[in-house]
Amino acid sequence: MTRSALLEVLREDYVRTARAKGLLEKLIIRRHALKNAMLPVVTIIGIEFAFLMGGLVVTEQVFNLNGIGKLFVESVLNGDFSLTQHLVMLVALIFIMTNFAIDLMYAWLDPRIRYS
């Protein structure tokens, strides 16, 4: 994903302008191209993290691991609704914090993105 995004960004006009000014290829890639190429990569990382948290229960049940997923299943089976509510809120909080971190990374990677 990173490679294809970087190859796409390297064809842009501002990269061509930086090459015409005589900048070193390392500087062009680091300062100009890599930050813009990382936006779709950060998006994919966020989506994959969401799938990881969603598959947590299944993974822990299949491999008989002790963790939040197994605690979640046991609390539902035992009728412990207070613990179930707390675990749902914990997972929701993890999703919210992950999305917030990704939004902050967007603003850091692309200065044109402003949250006011």
Domain with 32, as residue range(s), is 2-109
Whether residue 115 is predicted with pLDDT greater than 80 in this model: the reply is no
Whether residue 67 is predicted with pLDDT greater than 80 in this model: the reply is yes
**H-state helical runs in the chain:** 2-9, 13-21, 25-27, 34-54, 56-62, 68-77, 81-109
User: Does a structural domain hold residue 116?
Assistant: no
User: Does a structural domain hold residue 24?
Assistant: yes
Residue 61's φ and ψ, nearest 5 degrees, are -75, -40
106 alpha-carbon distance from chain centroid: 10
User: Does a structural domain hold residue 8?
Assistant: yes
Which residues, in sequence order, are CB contacts of 99 under 8 Å at separation 6+?
46
What mean pLDDT do residues 37-56 have? 88
User: Does a structural domain hold residue 114?
Assistant: no
Domain count of the fold of the chain: 1
pLDDT of residue 31: 86
Whether residue 85 is predicted with pLDDT greater than 90 in this model: the reply is yes
For residue 29, what are its two tokens? Answer: 């890639």
User: Does a structural domain hold residue 81?
Assistant: yes
CA distance 100 to 95: 9
- Count CB neighbours of 28 within 10 A: 19
CA distance 15 to 45: 26
CA distance 46 to 96: 11
User: Does a structural domain hold residue 23?
Assistant: yes
